[in-house]
Amino acid sequence: MTFCYLPITIDLCLCARDLFSNFHQGQRIPQGKYHLHNALWQLWLTVLYSQSEINSIWLSNAYFGADNGKPVYGLENAAQVRFSVPVSALNCSQTVELLAMLHAPSLYKAKPELFKQRVEKLEMRGCTDRRENQE
Looking at the fold, whether 99 and 45 belong to one and the same domain comes out as: no
Looking at the fold, whether 34 and 90 belong to one and the same domain comes out as: no
Angstrom distance (rounded) from CA 16 to CA 32: 7
Looking at the fold, whether 115 and 69 belong to one and the same domain comes out as: yes
Looking at the fold, whether 88 and 118 belong to one and the same domain comes out as: yes
Which of 49, 11, 52, 51 minimizes the C-alpha distance to 32? 11
pLDDT of residue 7: 43
Whether residue 83 lies inside any domain: the answer is yes
Better-scored residue on pLDDT, 27 or 58: 58
pLDDT tens digit string along 61-83?
999 988 888 999 999 999 999 89
pLDDT tens digit string along 112-122?
888 888 888 88
Residue 16's Cβ-count burial label (10 Å; 0-12, 13-18, 19+) is middle
Looking at the fold, whether 42 and 100 belong to one and the same domain comes out as: no
Q: Are 53 and 61 in contact (CB under 8 A)?
A: no
Q: How far is the CA of 109 from the CAs of 5, 12, 34, 83, 117, in angstroms? A: 26, 35, 31, 16, 13
Domain limits at 78? 62-134
* Over residues 99-126, mean pLDDT: 83
**Is-above-0.75 flag for pTM?**
no
State how many domains the chain has.
2
Dihedrals phi, psi of 131, to nearest 5 degrees: -65, -45
